[in-house]
Amino acid sequence: MKYLYFVCLGVLLPFCGFPQENRQDYNFTNVGMTFLSVVTDARAGGMGELGVATSPDNYSHQQNPAKYVFSDLKTVGKGGINVFYMPWLRRLVDDMNIAGASGYYKVNSEQSVSFSFRYFSMGDLHETDDNLQALGERSPYEMAMDVAYARRLGRNFSMSMTFRYGVSNVVKKYRRAHIIAADLGGYYSKALRLGKNSGLFALGFALSNVGNKIKYGTDDRLFLPAELKLGSNLEVRIQNLHRFSIGMEGGKYLVSLREDDHTNTVLQCIGASFESGEIKRLFWKIGGEYVFNEILAFRTGYFHEGKSGLQREYATFGAGIRFMRIHLDASYLVSMMSGNHPLDNSLHLFAGIAF
């Protein structure tokens, strides 16, 4: 059990804001596989991690697959394949990363399908026994595979359902944990006329990572990082050459962080996350993007979580380039918190091809 504790501590560390007071209010040890809530999408990563209501893009699967139904064939294409790589906690270790691939296909104007694969490598772990005698090295990991289906339910609205299978293999002495989870997404898009220019207003939501509790073989089980996000976005296109967008998004984890709630069922835990005290644990994001001639993109954003939550706070910056059907995107995170935060200087790299 000692080994499991230290591995879980390393995985959960990036979600902690290192508060100086009331540390007992920030217990997150009843949650596992937290990498499922890490935003690896480089476009979103450059916009404060916005994603549920931004315009459809090649990376929409992770944030809100319902957007694919409204994708523009000239820019996003009928389908595509993407790969991504994200070094993780490089201020602490040099061999931890999240990598994977995603893809999508727009069947017709009414339907789309998409998938993704994510692999979280925790690097090399030096194991010891109770007497601190070396037991050798191993490489713990977690992974998840998703498939999503989206369908238009009206002229301006679509919804998606995502099914997920995941594996957590963190400690040799415990068995692998297997999870099955689901996401639900919705997207509303309305074209606008703003004088001589065209615009697009969108609303979106995503309910993510609702599934069974994680069991490693111990008596206690961990919850998945279920979360609910709501967002809006306004996009303006000028002379078909310049495209500006700005959006806001808010959300919260649907997991009660109180230590005595770890024996609850999944539904009980979601309900407890809206009780007094827990309801205040919210986060919000704001971000913007400028795109020139659908070739060059520049992005920035801000992520904030208050004192009643995990106290994360950081600014993001990103850029992208598209040449014909090939696209490359990168984003960079700068912590706004005092001290040497492990998430500071995080980097997202994403590349893909549309067809």
Q: For 283, what's the count of Cα atoms within 13 Å in the CB-facing half-sphere? A: 22
Cα gap 331→349, rounded to integer Å: 7
Give the pair of three-digit tokens for residue 6.
């230290």
pLDDT of residue 275: 79
- Which residues, 6 or more positions from 125, have their beta carbon under 8 angstroms from its beta carbon? 7, 137, 138, 139, 140
pLDDT of residue 26: 47
Cα 105 → chain centroid: 21
Per-residue confidence band for 255, with pLDDT thresholds at 50, 70 and 90: confident
DSSP β-bridge partners for residue 302: 286, 315
Cα gap 33→15, rounded to integer Å: 12
pLDDT of residue 12: 46
Tens-place pLDDT, residues 215-230: 877 666 889 999 999 9
User: What value does the mean pLDDT of the chain take?
Assistant: 84
Whether the per-residue pLDDT at 344 is higher than 70: the answer is: no
Whether the per-residue pLDDT at 20 is higher than 50: the answer is: no
Region of poorest pLDDT, from 137-151, 252-266, 295-309:
252-266
Per-residue confidence band for 238, with pLDDT thresholds at 50, 70 and 90: very high
Long-range CB pairs of 23-28 (<8 Å, 24+ gap) are: 25/257, 25/308, 26/257, 26/310, 26/311, 27/257, 27/258, 27/259, 28/257, 28/310
Rounded to whole angstroms, what are the CA distances from 327 to 42, 70, 73, 323? 11, 19, 15, 6
Give the global pTM: 0.87
Whether the per-residue pLDDT at 340 is higher than 80: the answer is: no
DSSP state for residue 183 in the 8-state scheme: E
Cα gap 17→308, rounded to integer Å: 11
| Unique residue bearing structure tokens 């994200």 | 86
Average pLDDT over residues 32-58: 92
pLDDT of residue 259: 64
Cα gap 41→331, rounded to integer Å: 9
Cα gap 58→75, rounded to integer Å: 9
* Nearest residue to 166 (alpha-carbon basis) of 123, 122, 125, 212: 212
Cα 65 → chain centroid: 13
pLDDT of residue 181: 97
Average pLDDT over residues 238-254: 93
Per-residue confidence band for 273, with pLDDT thresholds at 50, 70 and 90: confident
